[in-house]
Structure 1
Amino acid sequence: MRDVVIIGAGPAGLSAAIACRESDLDVLVIDEFPKPGGRLLGQLHQEPSGEWWNGIEETKALLAKAEKLNTTIQCEVSCHHLEKIEGGYIVHTNHGLFETKNVLLATGAAETAAPIPGWTLPGVMSIGAAQVMTNVHRVRVGNKGIIVGVNVLSAAIARELQLAGVGLHSMALPVSNPVTKNHAHPGKVMEGLVRIAHLAPSAFLRFGSKFAKAAWVRDLAVKFYPKGGVKMWGMPIHIRKAIVQINGTEKVESVTMCDLTPEGEVIPGTEKKIEVDFVCIAGGLYPLTELAAVIGCPFQYVEELGGHVPIHNEQMETPLEGLYVAGNITGIESAKVARAQGKLAGYSIAKQNENIQQAMQEVKAIREAATIQFHPEIEAGRQKVERAFHEYVVP
């Protein structure tokens, strides 16, 4: 029986494995992808300081540490079930069963679909798929495309596509429907847009980031939002325009764009066709929690963290003995936060009490210094989960 099986070889899983191996625990890391690194492999962006965050180089650094400690990492291994046994767990995979005293779930996040008429055509993909194809597999997704959905994720990946030489016409909102409602409302989108304004050389957005905390200022900004959009890295970002249809017979040929009122309603007669050969849909991220559900871990829905998350405490422990979580399964944040959480989880598994407090402070410091946040009020969301943990463990 192993000391710990870590499911997920992204920044959280690899960091946790390193911390566990430093205490000489018997560790197995598994991941369904052909190589370790997780979402890190597709990340490449410039931070406000001017420094570049290169996910491939960050992965290499983590792997070098893990390999130096003789960490066992197995890729192309899919886990489909967890079973509780006396003194531990059985991890069910396509490569057989693994018995372990502890399990760390570092499964990350998945993308939310945003359905639009025509979205099943070849050439339509999620924004995350475009990132992986471009930065990991070095496959050009198309010559000229448009991004549907304006949020932190789409803005970051749009820049990565530009750096790879992929042409982008613009970013616009999806047409409003029951699924896309919040992503299609200009006012709600503006709230998120001002949180990434410091990343772009736009006076309009910089103004918004400083003053648009007040609702009346946001409403004013939406009302007078330029018809031509606000340019970020030379690409127009529209929050008063929406994509109502993706057109084509055998593949994407164009999209139909229309103007919106400040409330997000389509203005009849403003439809316009734009020729593109690919479309990226950005519906946001949610924690990938199926394995936690399978084993019976209790959950709480926390909007600030991106959806349902396993209940856990500050040490990354769940109410189930021997089950730990780290990374985006606990809430949608940056790879830097996930890496710090993994380190903390590793110390918790190894019972390295002298390092746990320092690691907890490191997670908080990295969170506070984050360049961008996927959701507002992250700290409030974390506190909700921690309160739920203590109420569950000590009624």
Structure 2
Amino acid sequence: MTDLIVIGSGPAGLAGAIAAAGTGLRVTVVDEFIRPGGRLLGQLHQEPSGEWWNGIKEAEKLQHEAHALGINIRCGVSVYNIETAEAGWKVYTNEGVLEAPFVLIATGAAEYPIPVPGWTLPGVMSIGAAQVMTNVHRVQAGRKGIIIGANILAFAILNELQLAGIKVDRVVLPEKNAVSRQAGEPEAVIRSLLNAAHLAPSALLRFGSRLMKNETIRNIGTRFYPKNGLKINGTPLQLRKAAVEIIGTEQVEGVRTVDIDAYGHVIPGTDRLYEADFVCIAGGLYPLAELAAVAGCPFEYIPELGGHVPRHSETMATPLPGLFVAGNITGIESGKVAMAQGTAAGLSIAKQAGKQAAASGRQLEQAIEHVRTIRQQVAIQFHPDIELGRSQMNEQWKAHEGTSVQPGEKIG
């Protein structure tokens, strides 16, 4: 018997399981990967304070704490359906059906694919796959690579590849089209990257980035951005070049690029081929929320959170009784925010379950406040207007608070 089923053993799922189990709830965690940790397993970076964030070590700490509390963690288990049952919820997996009064969905995020001709060649991968190969499996992605796509996630992983001694020859943009959209516009890319300007590796870049926050200066800077790019720890960021094709016969051999103007329009006659034996495509992240949709949870479209997200409160409850969410399924943020949300979700579930340790609500209030504090302190925000997105979700929740929702029912 179990009181709570947690789907996803990433930072949000494990933290939620630990918080709930700490109040006496019986908790089962399922995850399709071979080991717990989720996105934490690939993270390795230096914080502005100088301290190193080692995701594998953080995942191990959470796993040890979970085992000490008797949490049943089952890896290699895929969930394909979730529905209401007499006792709460049924969760359908490849190893059978699980039932519990409460479910916490903490499935995280997935990467946007940006199709580029030749992207099915061996040696082409998402930027996240390169991170996992490098930091989790200790496998070198290749000898010389090119990243297509310039966003905060791409540069965080670029640094990790560089730390591992992997040569990334250059970073270029995808060709502007209906799928890549603003990811193929130099001016829009610069505007988005300015939110992480304080993390630039040199004082010159940090100073220039501060100047570029002025719209007039930014427009001038974009038009006159060097064709050879600016180097990020030795790797040129070429915002005025776009990848139009990945070249190769049996595997990646190079990338064909063209020059583009400030708005992503191709400049004819500027084709050039750069050699590479691996390519990483960086399209950004979106909430992996399919299971919440299958369960019948209502959604809100909030671009500031990364797209469509299940409607939820600050206690991480959804309008469906017994169903909770936490982590990147609620909006794209850092692993630290995900853990704080997971803790809030676990305590919220314990309170609803009538556990005395959480019944007063004081612990839950502190956990919610901790989420806000961590959000303000994190070095990187994947979406600069995250606070606006969270405010919009809170308003939507309050507008429908008290509304009874049945699975599959569409409201508001």
State the TM-score, normalized to the length of structure 2.
0.94
1:385 and 2:412 are equivalent in the alignment: no
Aligned position for 1:362: 370
Distance 1:87 1:216 in 2: 60
The equivalent residue for 2:267 is 267
Structure 2 contact 87–99 (Cα < 8 Å) conserved: no
Distance across 2 between alignment mates of 1:376 and 1:218:
17
Question: In structure 2, what is the equivalent of residue 106 of structure 1?
Answer: 106
AA of the residue aligned to 2:382: F
> Larger deviation: 190-199 or 298-307?
190-199
Q: Distance in 1 between matches of 2:245 and 2:204?
A: 29
Q: Determine whether 1:236 maps to 2:244.
A: no
2: CA distance, partners of 1:345 / 1:304: 22
Mapped partners of 1:347, 1:209: distance in 2: 41
- Tell me by how many angstroms 1:176 deviates: 1.0
Once structures 1 and 2 are overlaid, which stretch shifts more, 231-240 or 144-153?
231-240
Residues 37-76 of structure 1 mapped to structure 2, 5 A cutoff: 37-76=37-76
Is 1:5 matched with 2:5?
Answer: yes
Distance in 2 between the 1:275 and 1:210 partners?
34
Map 1:118-129 onto structure 2 (within 5 A).
118-129=118-129
Looking at structure 2, the residues matched to 263 and 284 of structure 1 have their Cα atoms a distance apart, in angstroms, of 19
Correspondences of 1:172-183 after superposition (within 5 Å): 172-183=172-183
Q: Hey, what does 2:384 align to over in structure 1?
A: 376
Q: Across the two proteins, how many residue pairs are aligned to each other?
A: 395
2:123, 2:279 within 8 Å by CA — same for their partners in 1? yes
The CA deviation at 1:350 is 0.7
Matches within 5 A, 1:13-28: 13-28=13-28
Q: Secondary structure at the match of 1:182?
A: helix
Could you list the runs of 4 or more consecutive aligned residues of structure 1 that deviate by over 6 angstroms after TM superposition? none
- Distance (Å, rounded) in 1 between the aligned partners of 2:364 and 2:9: 21
8 Å Cα contact 1:304/1:375 also seen in 2: yes
SS in 1 for 2:237: strand
For the 8 Å contact 1:47–1:199, the answer to whether it is kept is no
Q: Could you tell me how far apart the structure 2 residues matched to 1:356 and 1:65 are?
A: 20
Report which stretch shifted further, 250-259 or 285-294.
250-259
Q: Partners in 1 of 2:2 and 2:241 — Cα distance?
A: 55
Q: Which residue of 1 aligns with 2:407?
A: none
Deviations 1:268-299 (A, max 9, x none): 12211111001000001000001000010000
* Structure 1 runs not aligned, ≥5 long: none
CA positional deviation for 1:208: 4.3
Task: State the distance in 1 between where 2:187 and 2:216 align.
Answer: 10
Amino acid at match of 1:215: E
**Per-residue deviation, 1:394:** 4.0
Change (3 A) 1:118 1:204: farther
Structure 2 matches for 1:263-302, cutoff 5 A? 263-302=263-302
Cα RMSD of the aligned pairs, angstroms, is: 1.2
Q: How far did 1:203 drift?
A: 4.4
Tell me by how many angstroms 1:260 deviates. 1.2
Identity of aligned residues (%): 57
CA distance in 1, matches of 2:121, 2:109: 25
Unaligned runs of 5+ in 2: 352-357, 404-412
Q: Which residue of 1 aligns with 2:151?
A: 151
**What letter corresponds to residue 115 of structure 2 in structure 1?**
P
Q: Does 1:89 align with 2:97?
A: no
Partner-residue secondary structure (3-state), 1:141: coil
Q: What secondary structure does 1:41 align onto?
A: helix
Q: Alpha-carbon deviation of 1:84?
A: 0.3
Match of 2:410 in 1: none
Point out the more displaced range, 126-135 or 211-220. 211-220
Q: Which secondary structure state, in structure 1, belongs to the residue aligned with residue 3 of structure 2?
A: strand
Task: Measure, in 2, the Cα distance between the counterparts of 1:294 and 1:42.
Answer: 29
CA contact (8 A) 2:300 2:308 kept: yes
Tell me which amino acid in the other structure corresponds to 1:382. Answer: R
The CA distance in 2 between the partners of 1:54 and 1:100, in whole Å, is 34
The residue aligned with 2:406 is none
Q: Secondary structure at the match of 2:101?
A: strand
If the length of structure 1 is used for normalisation, what is the TM-score? 0.98
